[in-house]
Amino acid sequence: MTSPAALPPEGLPGLDPGFSRLVAVPGTGVDAGMTRTWHVLDTGPELDRRGVAPQGTILAVHGNPTWSYLWRSIVARSVAAAEAGEPAWRVIAVDQLDMGFSERTDVVRPLAQRIRDLAALTDALELDGPVVTLGHDWGGVISLGWAVDHPELLAGVTLLNTAVHHPAGVPIPAPLRLAGARGVLAASTVQTTAFLDTTLALAAPALSPEAKAAFRAPYATADRRRAIGGFVADIPVDARHESFAELQRIADGVTRLTVPALMLWGPRDPIFGDRYLDDLIERMPQAHVHRFEGAGHLIAEDRDYAAAVLTWLAEPHRFSPESHFSEGRVGSSRDSVSVVVVAEANREADAAWTPLWERLEARRDDDATAVIEMGATGATRRVSWRQLDDRVRTLAAGLTALGVRAGDRVSLLVPPGPTLTAIIYACLRVGAVVVVADAGLGLKGLTRAVRGAWPDVVIGELPGLTAARVLGWPGLRISVPTLPAVTARALGIRYSLADVTRAGAAADLPPIPGPDDPAAILFTSGSTGPAKGVAYTHRQLSALRDILAAHFDVSSGTGLVTGFAPFALLGPALGTLSVTPDMDVSAPRTLTASAVAAAVRASEARIVFLSPAAILNVVATADALTADDRAALAGVQTFLSTGAPISEALLAAAARVMPNATAHTPYGMTECLLVTDITLEGIRAAADAPDAGVCVGSPIGGNRIRISALDADGRATGNPSEAPGVLGEILVSAPHLKDHYDRLWLTDREAARGVPDDGGRWHRTGDVGHLDAEGRLWVEGRVPHVLVTADGPLAPVGPEQQVERVDGVRRAAVVGVGPHGLRQAVAVIETSPTAKAPGLASPELAARIRAATDTPLVAVLAVPALPTDIRHNSKIDRTRLSGWAERVLAGERPTAP
């Protein structure tokens, strides 16, 4: 049943009715000879009234079952930009025919017709370039179809969750299968509001009742919902479908688009999951990508997409005013001026670059031990340099023969040891990108990480592959052991490592990857939010090898005991023997002093790497050491605590376990594993300094540090400097600094905000601290944990250190309660002996704590254990504690934080 177009009712939240207009459009295709009327939201007339010449036009196309109301935020922001005197974009947000408040035509409109419809509208509007398309859901496909057909107008492409290709043999997403099933389609999409209601329910956080009513407003009757069912019916499930060829045409055309592109994604989408994002990235490798963890299908409602799109459009060099938008459309994943300078420096350094495996290859004829795997019963497995190099080469050739190519992502679910070492170096030799997510993230965190990286291949032991099957992780699966055929089929395993070896025996090695090719994605601990994938190139991994070797004087005879996963695989790169002690690497606190001694004795290693959590248990279990154990540990020359700063007392206790070793505690992060270094003696020398925080020493090698001062609101807005005594965010630069965050464009952008413009690569760490007069760095916490009080910003670590000097206090966290700008400090402590239950500290202990710190404390709370991160078990979760303290002080019965 046909019905005319109309204007939306007034009073819809967030929508100014002044932007609504009706446009008469000459029909095309099935509408030839007719006129169709569209409803659109258009900021052009308002910009004209203000005398503002827009930068271009954002052509926004909604999907099913929404309408142009979806784009109200970017409509409003475009006008707000004009009001503020900032560069503005005209926004045209359409209601597709038969949808929203556009005309109901009662005509079947397959994909090709809808693209013709949109073109007819833009012709009627006499739309001129530059145009940036913006699409969501099926509107993303239609907007891309328009983009492919209008290269002379196109300046860029922006997308929210959508898809242009579905792999053969894979069922379409379950919600669409159900909605499109015979006997269900009409009932769920047209006769009732089930499909519409289900879609609106996907918003997270939930939509307000008023917003839900606004989305439902155009679809009050079955006649007005016909196109909702029509869109579902138009999904081409296979090649027989009427729209299949048109979708294929668009998918092919997208691969030829070279304009800038931005993809904003909600990974919790049950319809357009990361599979489709991965496909789009392959078709448009120039795209910037940001995955909003926790967001889903209605990402335009879940997150501030409008700010992201307008920020992206406003970046320098996005659309150069010196040249026409249709010229020189070569995309770039990093398009700042400094990248050009870095590229020039990189070319000069290429001659000196050597692959990470260069020292392994140099010892390929050496029968000395390269890697030792410690067993629970004291048994050891030894692999020689000759065996390891042969294994790496065979696996690299076999992976290539089985179809693994340079750039493919390979997720590894294998515990540290000779097998993992060989697989990693084989993948790097192929040019594949190694994806490493710590098992300490837990099953939920690991699943989020693996799905976010969307690997092409998963190599794992049985537990990991079982989880991959049950949780639907992507990728071709290769098992480390050879499993029974029935088990392999059930887990979807295509090959075993033995199959890879057989294939590699008669295959050639592929070409060596280049220094700036992608090499690895390492996931952060997740202690400051969802774990982030940190991407490294081959050049950066080699730079890490080189700075580690130079600073700690690692040679072929040094030997490493590595109880810290990130360094457990660097032995072959350094050309020295490496051994991982008997421990659960996903739980560092399982490492005992006896296990460290056994590893040192088996390897005669002179360097020991441990994480803070491992050190705690090594010190706690030192009384179990035998005379032979102590003799072995006495041979250690260098001891490193890596992963988080630790106290002088704990480092000194560890040093007593290894009495002849120089104790170091480097400062670094997944994004830059070694930044500064300080020894136990250096910590003691700094003890009398008046500085607050943990002294982590001076930059090593060619590393550099700057501080961006905090303003009165607690934001790091100051120009980066080396001035001493300035509290601010810590910025680092190093040859081995990460390349970028994986599929987190906004996070990348924030990490590079306001960095020095000196041609170097810089990173905002999120840590807060200061430099002293000697150039040493003092870490005082995380930027989000800074308390903005009535007297200004207060970093937590300094007051925490004062509290921890009080007898009876084992550890402390200082957190804020109250409104921003008027925060008040609360001390939350672990006591010795341990508190039996959470609650207020005893009056006597609270009084001593208040007397020991110059920070006014509104309360002192005691807990049995402070909540910490899951990887290091040492980084206190102050954000969680702050919320807990707020609730307790508001009268809630205290439970464990």
| pLDDT of res. 613 | 80
Does 90 score more than 70 pLDDT? yes
Distance CA 311, CA 749 (A): 10
| pLDDT of res. 586 | 65
Reported as a single tens digit per residue, the pLDDT across 609-635 is 988 888 889 999 999 999 999 999 999
Q: Calculate mean pLDDT across residues 442-467.
A: 86
Distance CA 728, CA 714 (A): 9
| pLDDT of res. 876 | 82
Q: Calculate mean pLDDT across residues 426-447.
A: 85
Q: Could you give the angle at which helices 111-124 and 244-254 cross, rounded to 10 degrees?
A: 60
| pLDDT of res. 179 | 59
Asked if residue 619 lies in contact with residue 654, where contact means CB atoms within 8 angstroms, the answer is: yes
Reported as a single tens digit per residue, the pLDDT across 197-228 is 999 999 999 999 999 999 999 999 999 999 99
The residue ranking higher by pLDDT, 324 or 675, is 675
pLDDT band at 336 (very low <50, low <70, confident <90, very high): very low
Lowest-confidence range among 108-122, 368-382, 789-803?
Answer: 368-382
Return phi, psi of residue 149, to 5°.
Answer: -85, -10
Percent of the chain whose pLDDT exceeds 90: 76
| 3-class secondary-structure state, position 280 | helix
Lowest-confidence range among 226-235, 348-357, 404-413?
Answer: 348-357
Is the domain spanning 786-897 CATH 3.40.640.10? The answer is no
The residue ranking higher by pLDDT, 834 or 568, is 834
| pLDDT of res. 593 | 95
| 3-class secondary-structure state, position 754 | coil
pLDDT band at 340 (very low <50, low <70, confident <90, very high): very low
Q: Please, where in the chain does CATH 3.40.50.1820 lie?
A: 17-168+244-314
Amino acid at 635: G
Reported as a single tens digit per residue, the pLDDT across 635-654 is 999 999 887 777 788 899 99
| pLDDT of res. 563 | 80
The set of long-range contacts for 555-561, using a CB threshold of 8 Å and a minimum separation of 24, is 556/363, 558/605, 558/606, 558/607, 559/603, 559/604, 559/605, 559/606, 559/607, 560/603, 560/605, 560/607, 560/608, 560/609, 561/596, 561/599, 561/600, 561/603, 561/605, 561/607, 561/608, 561/609
pLDDT band at 337 (very low <50, low <70, confident <90, very high): very low
The residue ranking higher by pLDDT, 56 or 564, is 56
Strand arrangement of the beta sheet that strand 824-831 belongs to: 809-817, 824-831, 857-863, 839-840
Lowest-confidence range among 271-275, 471-475, 533-537?
Answer: 471-475
Q: Calculate mean pLDDT across residues 357-366.
A: 95
The residue ranking higher by pLDDT, 28 or 337, is 28
Distance CA 653, CA 661 (A): 12
| pLDDT of res. 215 | 98
Structure tokens belonging to residue 34: 């007719």
Does 347 score more than 60 pLDDT? no
Does 474 score more than 90 pLDDT? no
Structure tokens belonging to residue 695: 């002294």
**Which of 310-324, 368-382, 863-877 is the most confident on average?**
368-382
Whether the link from the prior residue into 864 is cis, omega within 30° of 0, is no
Partners of residue 436 on adjacent β-strands: 522
CATH (one of 3.40.50.620, 3.30.559.10, 1.10.730.10, 3.40.50.1820) for 17-168+244-314? 3.40.50.1820
Whether the link from the prior residue into 833 is cis, omega within 30° of 0, is yes
Reported as a single tens digit per residue, the pLDDT across 35-70 is 999 999 999 999 999 999 999 999 999 999 999 999
When the pLDDT of each residue in the chain is averaged and rounded to a whole number, the result is 90
Q: Calculate mean pLDDT across residues 87-91.
A: 94
Distance CA 69, CA 101 (A): 10
Does 328 score more than 50 pLDDT? no
Does 345 score more than 80 pLDDT? no
Reported as a single tens digit per residue, the pLDDT across 289-307 is 999 999 999 999 999 999 9
| pLDDT of res. 174 | 63
Asked if residue 540 lies in contact with residue 737, where contact means CB atoms within 8 angstroms, the answer is: yes
DSSP secondary-structure letter at 189? I
| pLDDT of res. 565 | 64
pLDDT band at 377 (very low <50, low <70, confident <90, very high): low
The residue ranking higher by pLDDT, 2 or 215, is 215
| pLDDT of res. 637 | 96
Measured at the CA of 439, the angle between CA 435 and CA 444, to 5 degrees, comes to 95
What's the start-to-end Cα distance of the chain, in Å? 59
| pLDDT of res. 895 | 85
From the list 456, 392, 449, the residue with the least C-alpha distance to 420 is 392
